[in-house]
Amino acid sequence: MKFGVVVFPGSNCDADCFYVLNNVLNCNTKYIWHKDTKLNDFDCIVLPGGFSYGDYLRTGAIARFSPVMSELFNFVKKGKFVIGICNGFQVLLESGILSGAMLRNKNLNFICKYVYIKVENKNTPFTKFCTKEILKIPIAHKDGNYYIDSQGLEELKENNQIIFRYSDKNGNISQDTNPNGSIYNIAGIINKEANVLGMMPHPERSSESILGSSDGILIFKSIIKWLSKR
Amino acid sequence: MINPKVYHSLGLKDDEYLRIKKILKRDPTITELAMFSVEWSEHCGYCSSKGWIKLFPKKGKIKTLLSEDAGGIILGNLAIVFKMESHNHPSQVEPKQGAATGVGGIIRDIFACGARPIALFDSLRFGNLENPHNRYIAKGVVSGISFYGNCVGIPTVGGDIYFDNCYNNNCLVNVMCIGIAERKNLMRAKATGKGNSIIYVGASTGRDGIGGCSILASDEFKEDDKKRPSVQIGDPFLEKCLIEATLEAISTGYIVGLKDMGAAGLTCSISEMAASGNSGIEVDISLIPKRESGMQAWEIMMSESQERMLLCIKKGKEKEIIDIFSKWDLNATVIGKVTDDGFVVIKDKDKIIAKIPAKELVNPPIYKRKYKEPDYLKKIKKVSIKKLPKIKDYNSILFKLISNPTVASKKWVYEQYDYMVGTNTVLVGSDAAVLRIKGTDKAIAATVDCNSTYCYLNPYIGAQIAVAESIRNLACVGADAVAITDCLNFGNPTKPDKFWQFKESVRGIISAAKFFKLPVVSGNVSFYNESPKGSIYPTPTIGMVGILDDVSLVVSQDFKNEGDYIILLGITKEEFGGSLFLKEIYSKLSKDVPTLNLKLEKKVVETVLCLIKNKLINSAHDCSEGGFLIALAECCISNDKPIGVILDNLDQGIDLTTFLFSESQSRFIISCSKENLKNVIKIIEKNNTPYRVLGKTFGERLIIYNKKEAINVDVNDLKKAWEESLPKYFE
């Protein structure tokens, strides 16, 4: 089982994702420079958070033209796994691998804080072995206000693609528990085939209890277990 | 013969011009004048301060590291490198970019040493928030730090913010950056080895920031708007790539030395690298990547365009280094070479346009400034608490103070900063920030501090207190203080009363640093923080780094459990000079700055560290602005779920107002479980530390009895007032 962490110019959570996979979970993990296109060896690729290309123009708008992205389409088609976190999620939206778009946060500011998310779909490779229903996990973004039109939202709901929603620590979901204004309190979605996950919160920042929470590691553990059972 | 108007406009004085002529034995060219003007500016040359700051202790209880760009400490195979720097005037003129480029500049100082930057701290001082212009400045500065720090991927984990009228026309933006290096990768800003190549990397040179150090930072404010073009524009994305490429290049072993281009740009990096390497450097400015055409040589040499570095590379290894920068889509161009004649030679193709001995260029005139105790100190009197109108309602005073912007929760600010990236952040929002060191059990703790009102009333004691409070802050989280960096913000040094404030503050830092065996490893001086409307209070900001040997022992300030005992360590006396209570409740300034007993301080700090190392206490917080009551309230409300207290065992020998609001130093509020109380007291008494067990945590109300009920408030209401105060000014 081999993990890859893509490095775009401006990625800044690449080393953090690498550390959790390689050092905390002892997985075989390699960095993938954004101009590399050999992805065959990998089972799961992480698009990390950060400010790829400075987020100039729009978040993720330039990174999606990186050479690695055209190869990522084939990777996804083969049914292999992709996790886009924060800026990685934004890149997945810009590239059309996941549907929807990101708007600026409702309060127009960057927000960095711990939130709670509720696992809405437990039957995915990313959540099947997640032993908790509500995760304490941090967000850190300025453009995390997820938007999709009403028809798109209905489709996401029908296909159980909404995987995480912002909630309180008891799992109650309301506007009060929505940190950025995202539609339907959406914090993370998957594609129809359930092999691509995009999420705004940072599981790699909540994978060790010394950092305040180890709930995020459950997502990585789930995909590892899924891959090893395959 | 050069028209005096020319060199005056560059900020040079007549005698300085004469000295330049003597050095060159001829009239200088315009480019040479420009180079001298920036290198000899107060900002770069430390002309007024050098004689004093060289007295700082450089050795302490742990091995230190002193370098051109920053200093630090040695920790096994690692070096912890840190420095603090100001970007006050640029931020006052253009808050967002001023603050952003302040962040960018200090980061470059750290990775120029070969260290990976791992944390940022900001010490901010703004004017009164009732004034919309001060709100504009504060909001802009916060957004600038957020814009730059978040994108560059270095967590902003701590800092402090004060609001005071003295900063109405001159805000302070002091940024500290901490980095970690493997000792083998440590770099110096030296150019050595005749024939080695000088490579320019990073952003192209533009016309931004020309005269930033000599014109903007080395004079008082007169007309703000005209100075706006002197402010640089930051590109954090470029800086992020520059960090990665530079650290990758250093790991090749082909870099001889390197320096960032900060204040005084190319002039500074070329001349200082040549001088510290006992070499000369010859460069051809026609090879420098430029943002626009038609730039004059003097503009190129003075430009403070951001995100640029100068590298000295082993001859023959240019391609390997250039390839690394190209991979990150960055400029990297050989612009010259190291020589052995000691001259900085600037050429435009074949034409020599400047030729100056490097050592003369970096040796600015040192001025022995006159000093005199300021007159205002004779007018300020001691205010006796007993003579003031009696307090009828302590509850409302508590609410008033807790929502004072200086005391209020800074959540609105720090939630705009990415304080977690890097996954080292173990603790924020307490007395000091704590970052683990991956691959070890250790952690770094750091804090920034300065109460400038104390310094205004007594700069010597005020500066000592800034050092002592930093030590205290570190002790609260369980860290032993090891080294200091500072950022000394003052008014016009040519005015004797302002220079007296500077001199006294430096003396205060030296005495406290020596007492606690703490070296001052790096720092920065910012003068001219004044306008015709007045000067700032003297603000010698202290940045301090401490070490925790075992990160799992970290302690935070908030009360944890119901039924824990609350103990006050230290001695409370009637000391209201510069206190928040007198200022906010009675609009008064009293002369009696709190005394600082260094021996007592040491004892109390050692006691707290010992208690934490023995895992005996659940929280620790020091008493600072607002005194005991505000510190207690913060312990109650800084947790997600606030906890109440009942204190019913007050010392009847102390007047209640004094007990609650005096700002006596060297005091901590700690809490411990019932089971540990006996052992806690045993250690406290063994260390001869004054203490009193005041009561217990209980319920959701903060209750204090003093014969009868003196205070009784709902901690949830208190938390709300504390958290909602700042956003109200900005949203």
Angle at B75 between CA B275 and CA B181, to 5 degrees: 55
Residue ranges of the alpha helices (H) in B40-158? Answer: 42-45, 50-53, 88-93, 95-111, 132-152
CATH T-level topology, domain A2-229: Rossmann fold (3.40.50)
- Which residues of A fall within a CB distance of 8 Å from B419? 112
One of 3.40.50.620, 3.90.1150.200, 3.40.50.450, 3.90.650.10 is the CATH number of B384-408+555-731, namely 3.90.650.10
Predicted local distance difference test score (pLDDT) of residue B262? 83
Average pLDDT over every residue of B465-478: 98
Q: Which residues of A are part of the catalytic machinery?
A: 86, 202, 204
CB contact under 8 A, A138 and B420: yes
Amino acid identity, residue A179?
P
- Which residues of B fall within a CB distance of 8 Å from A36? none
CB contact under 8 A, A211 and B425: yes
Average pLDDT over every residue of B16-21: 94
Predicted local distance difference test score (pLDDT) of residue B322? 97
Predicted local distance difference test score (pLDDT) of residue B216? 61
Write the CB contacts of B560 (distance below 8 Å, at least 6 apart in sequence): B618, B619, B639, B643, B671
Closest C-alpha to A92, from A128, A53, A46: A46
Across B161-199, b (16+ Cβ under 10 Å) vs e yields bbbbebbbbbbbbbbbbbbbbeeebbbbbbbbbeebbbb
Predicted confidence band at B209 (pLDDT cuts at 50, 70, 90)?
confident
Nearest CB neighbour to A210, from listed B153, B419, B426:
B426
CB contact under 8 A, B415 and A111: yes
Distance from C-alpha of B580 to C-alpha of B470, rounded to nearest angstrom: 19
Among B116, B421, B440, B639, which would you mutate to test the A interface (most chain A Cβ atoms within 10 Å of its Cβ)?
B421
Q: Kindly list the strands in the beta sheet with A134-141, ordered across the sheet, starting from the edge strand earlier in the chain.
A: A28-33, A2-7, A44-47, A81-85, A196-199, A186-190, A162-167, A111-119, A134-141
DSSP line for B625-640 = TTHHHHHHHHHHHSSS
Distance from C-alpha of B126 to C-alpha of A136, rounded to nearest angstrom: 35
Average pLDDT over every residue of B228-248: 89
Among B243, B409, B423, which would you mutate to test the A interface (most chain A Cβ atoms within 10 Å of its Cβ)?
B423
- Is 70 exceeded by the pLDDT of residue B226? no
pLDDT, tens digit, 9 for 90 and up, residues B266-298: 999 999 999 999 999 999 999 999 998 889 999
Distance from C-alpha of B494 to C-alpha of B497, rounded to nearest angstrom: 9
Same fold, B1-39+189-368 and B384-408+555-731: yes
Nearest CB neighbour to A19, from listed B153, B241, B423:
B423
Distance from C-alpha of B556 to C-alpha of B554, rounded to nearest angstrom: 7
- Is 80 exceeded by the pLDDT of residue A132? yes
Smallest CA–CA distance, residue B426 to chain A, in Å, is 5
In the numeric block, which tokens belong to residue A30?
Answer: 């390699």
CB contact under 8 A, B237 and A138: no
pLDDT, tens digit, 9 for 90 and up, residues B340-368: 999 999 999 999 999 999 999 999 999 99
Query: Which residue numbers of A have CB closer than 8 Å to B's CBs?
Result: 9-10, 12-13, 15-16, 19-20, 23, 49-51, 53-56, 107, 109-113, 138, 140, 142, 202, 204-205, 207-208, 210-211
Q: For residues B506 and B466, is the Cβ–Cβ distance under 8 A?
A: no
Closest-CA residue in chain A for B640?
A: A114
Predicted local distance difference test score (pLDDT) of residue B10? 86
Predicted local distance difference test score (pLDDT) of residue B154? 98
Amino acid identity, residue B67?
S
Smallest CA–CA distance, residue A75 to chain B, in Å, is 25
Type and span of the H or E element at B313 = strand B308-313
Amino acid identity, residue B475?
A
Closest-CA residue in chain B for A206?
A: B423
CB contact under 8 A, A112 and B151: no
Predicted local distance difference test score (pLDDT) of residue B547? 97
Smallest CA–CA distance, residue B126 to chain A, in Å, is 20
Q: For residues A86 and A200, is the Cβ–Cβ distance under 8 A?
A: yes
Nearest CB neighbour to A12, from listed B146, B153, B426:
B153
pLDDT, tens digit, 9 for 90 and up, residues B612-671: 999 999 999 999 999 999 999 999 999 999 999 999 999 999 999 999 999 999 999 999
Closest-CA residue in chain B for A204?
A: B423
Residue B233: how many CA atoms within 13 Å on its side-chain side?
9
Predicted local distance difference test score (pLDDT) of residue B212? 63
ipTM: 0.97
One of 3.30.750.24, 3.20.20.60, 3.90.650.10, 3.40.718.10 is the CATH number of B1-39+189-368, namely 3.90.650.10
Predicted local distance difference test score (pLDDT) of residue B153? 97
- Is 60 exceeded by the pLDDT of residue B210? yes
Residue B505: other Cβ atoms inside 10 A: 29
Amino acid identity, residue A147?
Y
In the numeric block, which tokens belong to residue A41?
Answer: 């060896």
CB contact under 8 A, B236 and A51: yes
Nearest CB neighbour to B237, from listed A19, A53, A211:
A53
Closest C-alpha to B470, from B487, B483, B455, B453: B483
CB–CB contacts below 8 A, A to B: 83
pLDDT, tens digit, 9 for 90 and up, residues B74-126: 999 999 999 999 999 999 999 999 999 999 999 999 999 999 999 999 999 99
Residue with tokens 């005394």: B595
For residue A201, which phi and psi values (nearest 5 degrees)? Answer: -65, 160
Predicted local distance difference test score (pLDDT) of residue B229? 60
Closest C-alpha to B365, from B6, B66, B14, B10: B14
Amino acid identity, residue B231?
V
Closest C-alpha to B31, from B267, B287, B230: B267
A206 three-state secondary structure: helix
* Catalytic residue from among B87, B89, B133, B621: B87
Q: For residues B306 and B105, is the Cβ–Cβ distance under 8 A?
A: yes
pLDDT, tens digit, 9 for 90 and up, residues A80-103: 999 999 999 999 999 999 999 999
- Which residues of B fall within a CB distance of 8 Å from A50? 153
Nearest CB neighbour to A112, from listed B153, B235, B418:
B418
pLDDT, tens digit, 9 for 90 and up, residues B531-549: 888 999 999 999 999 999 9
Write the CB contacts of B225 (distance below 8 Å, at least 6 apart in sequence): B93
- Domain spans of chain A? 2-229
- Which residues of A fall within a CB distance of 8 Å from B235? 54
Predicted local distance difference test score (pLDDT) of residue B3? 85
Distance from C-alpha of B153 to C-alpha of B150, rounded to nearest angstrom: 5
Predicted local distance difference test score (pLDDT) of residue B207? 86
- Domain spans of chain B? 1-39+189-368, 384-408+555-731
Predicted local distance difference test score (pLDDT) of residue A230? 75
Distance from C-alpha of B284 to C-alpha of B264, rounded to nearest angstrom: 18
Predicted confidence band at B213 (pLDDT cuts at 50, 70, 90)?
low
DSSP line for B215-241 = IITTS--S-SGGGGGGS----HHHHHH
Average pLDDT over every residue of A146-164: 98
pLDDT, tens digit, 9 for 90 and up, residues A184-201: 999 999 999 999 999 999
Average predicted confidence (pLDDT) for chain B: 94
